[in-house]
Structure 1
Amino acid sequence: MIEEPPIEAVELPARWKRLIEAIDANDVVAAHDILESATADDQRRIVSQLDIEDRERLCRLLPVGETAELIENLAEAQAVEMLEEMPADVAADVLEELPADLSGDLLRELDDRRSEAILAEIDDLEESKDLRERAGYEWDSAGGLMSDHVVSFPEHATVADVLAELGNNAEEYSDDEVQYFYVTGENMQLTGVLALRNLVLGRRSRSIGELMIPGPVATTVDTGLEELQDLFESKNYLAFPVVDAAGQLKGIVSRSAVNEALSDAQTEDYLKSSGIVGGEELRSMPLRERCVRRLAWLGPNILLNLLAASIIASYEDTLQSVIALAVFLPMVSDMSGCSGNQAVAVSIRELTLGIIQPRDYVRVLLKEVWLGLNNGVVLGIVLGTLAAIWKGNVYLGLVIGGALMLNTILSVAIGGLVPLILKKFKVDPALASGPILTTCTDMSGFFLVLSLANVAMTRLV
Structure 2
Amino acid sequence: MEKETTFLEELSDLIKAKDETAIHDMMESLKAEDLVYAYNRFSKDEQTELVNLLSPEDAATLLERIPQNQAIAAIENAQVETAASILNELYSDDQVDILAELDTRDAEAILEEMHPEEAENVRRLIQYDPESAGGLMVTEYLAFDANLTVAQTVKDLQEKAEEYEDYHVQYIYVTSHDRFVGVLQMRDLLLSKPNTKLNTIVIKNAFTMPPDARLEDLISFFDKYDFYGVPIVDGEDQLLGIVLRKDLREAESEKSNLELLETQGIVGGEELRSMPLWLRSKRRLSWLSVNIVLNIIAASVIAFYQDTLEEVIALAVFLPVISDMSGCSGNQAVAVSLRELSLGVVKPYELARVLWQEIKVGLINGVVLGFLIGLAAFIYQGNAYLGLVVGGALAINTVVAVSIGGTIPLFLKKMNTDPALASGPILTTVTDMLGFFLALTFAGVAMNYLV
Q: How far apart are residue 410 of structure 1 and its match?
A: 1.2
What's the TM-score once normalised by structure 2's chain length? 0.87
1:133 aligns with 2:133: no
Unaligned 5+ runs, structure 1:
1-9
Residue of 432, 436, 439 corresponding to 1:442: 432
The residue number in structure 2 matching 1:347 is 337
Q: 1:61 and 1:381, CA in 2 relative to 1: closer, same or farther beyond 3 A?
A: closer
Unaligned 5+ runs, structure 2:
none
CA distance in 2, matches of 1:116, 1:176: 27
2:80–2:109 Cα contact (<8 Å) kept: yes
Q: Match of 2:354, as an amino acid?
A: V
Q: 1:29 and 1:239, CA in 2 relative to 1: closer, same or farther beyond 3 A?
A: closer
1:83 aligns with 2:75: yes
Residue of 409, 417, 438 corresponding to 1:427: 417
Q: How far apart are residue 149 of structure 1 and its match?
A: 2.4
Write out per-residue CA displacement over residues 293-323 of structure 1, whole angstroms, 9 at most, x where no aligned residue.
Answer: 2222322221221111121122222222322
Write out per-residue CA displacement over residues 91-150 of structure 1, whole angstroms, 9 at most, x where no aligned residue.
Answer: 22221232333222222344545434433x425444223113333434443223322222
Q: How far apart are residue 245 of structure 1 and its match?
A: 4.5
The residue number in structure 1 matching 2:6 is 14
The residue number in structure 1 matching 2:110 is 118
- Greater mean deviation of Cα atoms: 298-307 or 342-351: 342-351
Q: How many positions carry a matched residue from both structures?
A: 450
Residue of 241, 244, 251 corresponding to 2:234: 244
Q: 1:112 and 1:406, CA in 2 relative to 1: closer, same or farther beyond 3 A?
A: farther
Q: 1:444 and 1:117, CA in 2 relative to 1: closer, same or farther beyond 3 A?
A: farther
1:35 aligns with 2:13: no
Q: How far apart are residue 180 of structure 1 and its match?
A: 4.4
CA distance in 2, matches of 1:240, 1:155: 19
1:199–1:211 Cα contact (<8 Å) kept: no
Write out per-residue CA displacement over residues 188-242 of structure 1, whole angstroms, 9 at most, x where no aligned residue.
Answer: 33234445537864683x7645665554321122222322232234334322211
- Greater mean deviation of Cα atoms: 121-130 or 291-300: 121-130
The residue number in structure 2 matching 1:154 is 145
Q: 1:69 and 1:312, CA in 2 relative to 1: closer, same or farther beyond 3 A?
A: same
Aligned CA-pair RMSD: 3.1
Write out per-residue CA displacement over residues 390-419 of structure 1, whole angstroms, 9 at most, x where no aligned residue.
Answer: 334443333222222221221121112112
Q: Match of 2:51, as an amino acid?
A: C
Q: How far apart are residue 389 of structure 1 and its match?
A: 4.6
Residue of 386, 410, 414 corresponding to 1:396: 386
CA distance in 2, matches of 1:72, 1:421: 38
Matched residue SS, 1:137 = coil
What's the TM-score once normalised by structure 1's chain length? 0.86
1:84–1:110 Cα contact (<8 Å) kept: yes
CA distance in 2, matches of 1:278, 1:248: 37
1:272–1:430 Cα contact (<8 Å) kept: yes
Over the matched positions of the two proteins, sequence identity in percent amounts to 47
CA distance in 2, matches of 1:212, 1:29: 46
Q: 1:450 and 1:54, CA in 2 relative to 1: closer, same or farther beyond 3 A?
A: same
2:150–2:192 Cα contact (<8 Å) kept: no
The residue number in structure 2 matching 1:386 is 376
Q: How far apart are residue 33 of structure 1 and its match?
A: 4.1
